[in-house]
Structure 1
Amino acid sequence: MSIKQLAEYLGLSKSTVSRALNGYSDVNSDTRLKVLEAAKILRYKANPTAQRLASGRSKNIGIILPANDRMFVSSAFSKVLASASELLIEHGYQLIVTTISSLQDEQKVYMDFISSGLVDGLFIVRTRHNDPRITLLKVHNFPYVCLGYESGYQEDRFVDVDNQHAFYQLTQRQINARHQRIAFLNGPVQLTLAMAREQGYLQAMREATLKVDKNYLLYGELTERDAIEMTKQLMALAVPPTCILCADDAMALGAIVACEKLGYQPGVDIAIAGYGNYEHSQYNKPSITTLDYDTHAVGEQMSQLILNQLEGQTFATQNWHKASIIIRESDLFEEKFNA
């Protein structure tokens, strides 16, 4: 059945039926419901090729990830993408995920996407300070939404977890537990998420008038491997930390592995906590204290914002999402920590 036949069956214009099927806000709710019910009964399916030719759009949203980026496979990030994809599908769009290698010119890859017509918009992740990708997209007036924030971002172009507040809370928890020597294994310094998480950590330490030893603040990739090496470095100090906060659960797992190899028992001899609430975190021994956020809401918000730009939708926007502490075994401790 064609859309023309569906329109004739309903006694409506083809354009009204089309707009109702695509969720346009200028079609009243009764008409939209009538069209959707008829389409379901008659098993109408839109011809995607015809839709693209008629609209001049690909009906695709792209996301480009570094090929060696562990964020690509993390459970939390996968859930964000799944939620974003689900809403896009409901509105006739597809999410296309591709990778970029270190051998490629990033600006050229993004320029190719902008000019090819392959995608109608882009999701930008792992946002960086003065991100050149965003500058390029702005110059070409190309639709985008960032998962990440830096001062100056437009409210209709980003979604983020309040990373500063999250790590402020996580650091406060350790301070309230009478830790004074608190280390922080952070992500790459150029990432906006790393900068925000560090600000939260430093804010809590300053408010408690605790010294931040420069040797306690280290940067690396959000991986177990980098965390293992950084933890070995920390625990080799003349005065090692009693608590290690990690910018990611993969890093927390690496810190646990390193401490155990060095003869420390996490949760007993040293406190360790992470971020992301990955699947392995609750099953690890010890289970990992972590920061959790609503991955479904974040992903859905990303798609709502891009649809507002592309389709003139009027989804209510929520830029900021809160993280909450999930208390598990890895940061429980004994009084001897600060003896």
Structure 2
Amino acid sequence: MAVTIKDVAKLAGVSPSTVSRVIANHPRISVETSNRVREVMEELGYHPNMMAKSLVSKTTRTIGVVLPRPAEELLLNFFFYELIRGVLAQLTRAGYDLLMAGGSNEQEELETVTRLARSGRVDGLLLLYSRASDPVIHLLRKEKMPFVLLGRSLDYEDVPSVDNDNVQAAYDATKHLIAQGQRRIGFVSGPAKLAMTQDRMAGYTKAITEAGLPFKDGWVVEGEFLLESGYRAMASIMSQPEPPTALVIIDDVVAFGVLKGLTELGYRIPQDVAIVSFNNIALTELTMPPITSVDVGTYQLGYTASQMVLRMIQQVEITNRQIIPHRLVVRESSLRTLSLT
């Protein structure tokens, strides 16, 4: 005979409605009660019928994740694996499934999100990017679909979002290079339309301006979040009559390309060119030399974004903008003392 929700409630010493709330991860259920009910569910081998629950509650128990385009390039960057790991950890704990979606261009992306928002296939969405004049955000606000943005909206102040203080993070990274005695500091950027790129560029510019250091257009190169992008950037930036002796790089994977390009051009790191990048993925410790990187709390970004969208679905009040702390992890690639050996 199949175990029922009443069986779980009786053994756990709670009401059936409390068991239902535990299954739904209702925020007003205490951790103690939730743990007790879940232990009983496991002991009895009880598995809620999510399909039936969805029909009754008119929910799908599914969250959509809109990937930055193009998605095939996204999967070459380890940052997004760690981000998705954080997303999945929270969704799995809450009994939700994950649906990934995207498009190869802006129009396809908009059409995909329109279908998701209007078809009832998902209860909410996570946007893993933030760029200016994004029609997707306008659509989701119009459709009243719960969604959370990874990053800062450039168009709406009240969009629920999870982000770092990217201006301060880039400022800290640049100040670190300045403290090492660097005076010619360049910036390997991401796509100019992204809020993160604009904010990190602002932090870099603020730091060198405050220090009275030169800003040269030729020391700033725009690219994508790909190893190949960093590699190509070196042919341009190091061909300047007076090339930089230090670089702030938008992303660790891009930094791998920078290392490859600099090495092929005959530069030593950090003796000739010091570098600092962002995200602190695991491989930064394994490069030669290990790369100084700003840890942005990637896992926590994904976990918190998932948590926020679930609370919106449950109509629980949230703080619209949550900032995940960052920290600079100093390794050999930026240490000026090594250039004296």
Pairwise CA distance, 1:64? 2.2
In the other structure, the counterpart of 2:232 is 229
Q: 2:48 aligns with which of 46, 57, 65?
A: 46
- Distance change in 2, residues 1:322/1:28 (3 Å): closer
How large is the Cα RMSD of the aligned pairs? Answer: 2.5
Name stretches of at least 5 consecutive residues in structure 1 with no aligned partner: none
Name which of 170, 175, 185 aligns with 1:172.
Answer: 175
* Structure 1 pair 336–94 and aligned structure 2 pair: CA distance change class (3 A): closer
Q: TM-score, normalised by structure 2?
A: 0.90
Cα drift, residue 8 of structure 1: 6.0
1:214-242 alpha-carbon deviations (Å, 9 max, x no partner): 11111111112121121111111111111
> How many angstroms does 1:3 deviate by?
2.3
Aligned to 1:108: 111
Given that 1:74 and 1:278 are in contact with CA atoms closer than 8 Å, whether structure 2 keeps it comes out as no
Alignment of structure 1 residues 307-326 onto 2, 5 Å: 307-313=310-316, 319-326=322-329
Could you tell me how far 1:7 is from its partner in structure 2? 4.3
Within 5 A, what are the aligned runs for 1:1-339? 1-7=3-9, 13-27=15-29, 32-65=34-67, 66-68=69-71, 70-102=73-105, 105-150=108-153, 153=156, 157-313=160-316, 319-333=322-336
What is the CA distance between 1:16 and its match in structure 2? 3.3
Aligned mates of 2:336, 2:185 — CA distance in 1: 13
Q: 1:289 to 1:31 in 2, by over 3 A?
A: closer
C-alpha distance in structure 1 between counterparts of 2:76 and 2:147, whole Å: 22
What SS does structure 2 have at the residue aligned with 1:330? helix
CA deviations on 1:117-143 (whole Å, 9 max, x unpaired) are 111111011210122211110011111
CA separation in 1, counterparts of 2:246 and 2:30? 57
Distance 1:279 1:33 in 2: 33
Q: Work out the CA distance in 2 between the residues paired with 1:163 and 1:27.
A: 35
Q: Is the 8 A contact 2:197 2:250 kept in 1?
A: yes
Structure 2, unpaired ranges of 5+: none
Alpha-carbon shift at residue 22 of structure 1 (Å): 2.0
Q: CA deviation at 1:267?
A: 1.2
Tell me the SS of whatever aligns to 1:231: helix
Matched to 2:21, the amino acid is R
CA deviation after TM superposition for structure 1 residue 314, in Å: 6.0
2-structure distance, mates of 1:316, 1:136: 22
Cα distance in 2 for residues equivalent to 1:141 and 1:82: 27
The number of aligned residues is: 337
1:99, distance to aligned residue in structure 2 (A) = 3.7
Superposition deviation, residue 162 in structure 1: 1.2
- Structure 1 residue 198: Cα displacement: 0.2
Q: What SS does the corresponding residue of 1:129 show, helix, strand or coil? A: coil
Note closer, same or farther for the CA distance 1:164–1:308 as it changes in structure 2 (3 Å cut): same
- Are the structure 2 counterparts of residues 167 and 25 from structure 1 closer, same or farther at C-alpha, using a change threshold of 3 Å? closer
SS in 1 for 2:334: coil
Quickly say closer, same or farther: Cα 1:135–1:155, change in 2 above 3 A: closer
What is the CA–CA distance in structure 2 between the aligned matches of 1:29 and 1:178, rounded to whole Å? Answer: 51
Residue 299 of structure 1: how far off its partner (Å): 1.9
Residues 169-195 of structure 1, C-alpha deviations (whole Å, 9 max, x = no match): 111111122211111010000001100
Contact kept, 8 Å, 2:64 with 2:100, in 1: the verdict is yes
- Determine the C-alpha separation between the residues in 1 that align with 2:337 and 2:279: 26
The alpha-carbon distance between structure 1 residues 172 and 10, as it changes in their structure 2 partners (threshold 3 A), is: closer
Q: Structure 1 stretch 23-32 or stretch 111-120: which is displaced more?
A: 23-32
